[in-house]
């Protein structure tokens, strides 16, 4: 980012803050659209829903909505953010194992596109609420595909014995239960297997499971309208400049090749759309020489970007102020937690108090997971497009 981040312009702003490269976001959305239309040339309707939990910054959502994406929401709050960005209710899906009653009411009254239902118990409540409101709610069953031996490190939500979805072996019973409920309509199947998936062949076992589930529905003489295959496409955290846009084409093609259905397909992407365009900008507070390590103590912390502390996630770190020879640093935040570390033994241009540090690829699960821990203020966001900095 050295050179491309206009330090002077933000010199009087309190660090840390998020900085979003709006050109990159637009390029990403354009390539996403191209990859989708070039993979599925048919008139088949298909839709990408942006997973708001990755980032619900209103300026970014406005742009995402402008490119025609729908929304995958986990709460009533996210549904409201999606609506405010101009995403129509029909393009909103509502996912989550623990939907609250007031959020279900909001979604039913809006007539959102789809509930992704994760248990029969939940479906009963949606049915009750819809009945009382004299409405009919469209839903998909979220199926836990349990890919067992086919699961890899990042394929975490699609395995046995976790809280997500209905185990595929229990789908028939769930469908039978749903048939008895008058105010809900089964319209599709939904899946989501994990996140930061870089090898798109990891999706092949999912496709096979989906094909199996479709066979099951056929034998039960149940027809549905579409399939939602979830999200999880990964990005290159190590080399953000090499491949700034995720490989959407391979992602779409694996489904095109391995799914045996003519039904419309829906996708739910979060990270791959917004992660590359965001950086957390911090300043060096102190350079501390330790016994074996040099520490670059920065003013950004796990309060603004929790992924390294929570998941040991890697982010590329750059000193965007200094051109001096590189040295090795442990880059740490000021919080009194062992895990408040952004990177160990990181090579950075020699650091001085006041240098700007960019923590790259922080646009997903960064700002949206920021907290007030230690009474720290929530980080502000700035944009490469001046029209958005108000």
Ligand X SMILES: *Cc1c(COP(=O)(O)O)cnc(C)c1O
Pick one of 39, 119, 151, 195: the residue that binds ligand X (CB under 6 A). Answer: 195
Q: Which residues fall within 8 angstroms of residue 253, CB to CB, at 6 or more apart? A: 39, 200
Q: Which CB contacts under 8 angstroms, 24+ apart, belong to 347-351?
A: 348/296, 348/317, 348/318, 348/319, 348/322, 349/319, 349/321, 349/322, 349/323, 349/324, 349/325, 350/319, 350/322, 350/324, 350/325, 350/326, 351/284, 351/287, 351/296, 351/319, 351/322, 351/327
DSSP string, 353-376: TT-EEEE-S-TTTTGGG---GGGP
Residue 209 interacts with ligand X (CB under 6 A): yes or no: no
CB of 154 to ligand X, least distance (A): 9
Pick one of 99, 114, 168, 192: the residue that binds ligand X (CB under 6 A). Answer: 192
Pick one of 16, 158, 188, 231: the residue that binds ligand X (CB under 6 A). Answer: 231
Helix (H, G, I), strand (E, B) or coil at 311: helix
Pick one of 99, 271, 307, 360: the residue that binds ligand X (CB under 6 A). Answer: 271
Residue 268 interacts with ligand X (CB under 6 A): yes or no: yes
How many residues at the interface with ligand X, by CB under 6 A?
17
Which residue number, 205 or 232, has a Cβ lying nearer to ligand X?
232
Which residue number, 341 or 364, has a Cβ lying nearer to ligand X?
364
The footprint of ligand X on residues 16-55 (CB under 6 A) is 51, 53-54
Count of residues in the chain: 390
CB of 233 to ligand X, least distance (A): 6
Residue 232 interacts with ligand X (CB under 6 A): yes or no: yes
CB of 55 to ligand X, least distance (A): 9
Residue 112 interacts with ligand X (CB under 6 A): yes or no: no
Residue 168 interacts with ligand X (CB under 6 A): yes or no: no
Which residue number, 151 or 321, has a Cβ lying nearer to ligand X?
151
Residue 236 interacts with ligand X (CB under 6 A): yes or no: no
Which residue number, 15 or 192, has a Cβ lying nearer to ligand X?
192
CB of 286 to ligand X, least distance (A): 35
* Strand positions, DSSP E, the chain: 17-20, 47-51, 70-73, 92-94, 114-117, 137-144, 166-167, 184-190, 226-228, 265-269, 278-289, 294-298, 317-319, 326-332, 341-349, 356-359, 381-383
Q: What is the binding site for ligand X (CB under 6 A)?
A: 51, 53-54, 72, 95, 192, 195, 230-233, 268-272, 364
């Amino acid at each position: 980012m050295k050179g491309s981040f206009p330090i002077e312009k933000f010199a009087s702003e309190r660090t840390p803050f998020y900085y979003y490269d709006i050109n990159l976001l637009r390029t990403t959305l354009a390539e996403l659209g191209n990859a989708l239309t070039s993979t599925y040339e048919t008139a088949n309707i298909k839709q990408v829903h942006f997973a708001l939990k990755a980032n619900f910054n209103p300026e970014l959502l406005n742009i995402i909505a402008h490119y025609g994406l729908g929304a995958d929401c986990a709460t009533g709050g996210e549904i409201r953010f999606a609506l405010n960005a101009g995403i129509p209710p029909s393009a909103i899906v509502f996912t989550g194992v623990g939907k609250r009653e007031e959020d279900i009411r909001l979604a039913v009254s809006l007539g959102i596109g789809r509930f992704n239902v994760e248990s029969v118990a939940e479906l009963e409540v949606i049915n009750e609420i819809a009945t009382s409101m004299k409405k009919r709610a469209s839903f998909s069953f979220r199926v836990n595909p349990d890919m067992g031996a086919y699961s890899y490190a990042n394929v975490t939500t699609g395995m046995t014995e976790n809280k997500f979805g209905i185990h595929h072996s229990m789908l028939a019973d769930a469908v039978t239960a749903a048939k008895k409920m008058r105010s809900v309509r089964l319209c599709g199947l939904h899946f989501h297997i994990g996140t930061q998936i870089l090898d798109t062949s990891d999706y092949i076992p999912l496709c096979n499971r989906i094909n199996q589930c479709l066979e099951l529905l056929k034998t039960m003489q149940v027809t549905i309208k579409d399939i939602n295959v979830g999200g999880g496409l990964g990005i290159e955290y190590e080399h953000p400049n090499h491949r700034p846009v995720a490989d959407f084409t391979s992602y779409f093609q694996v489904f095109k090749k391995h799914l045996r259905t003519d039904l419309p397909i829906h996708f739910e992407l979060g990270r791959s759309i917004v992660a590359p365009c965001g950086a957390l900008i911090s300043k060096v507070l102190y350079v501390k020489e330790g016994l074996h390590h040099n520490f670059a103590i920065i003013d950004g912390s796990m309060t603004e970007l929790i992924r390294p502390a929570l998941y040991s996630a890697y982010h590329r770190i750059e000193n965007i102020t200094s051109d001096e020879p590189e040295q090795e640093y442990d880059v740490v935040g000021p919080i009194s937690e062992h895990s408040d570390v952004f990177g160990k033994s990181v090579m950075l241009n020699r650091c001085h108090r006041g240098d700007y540090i960019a923590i790259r690829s922080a646009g997903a699960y960064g700002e949206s997971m920021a907290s007030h821990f230690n009474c720290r203020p929530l980080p502000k966001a700035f944009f490469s497009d001046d029209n958005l900095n108000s």
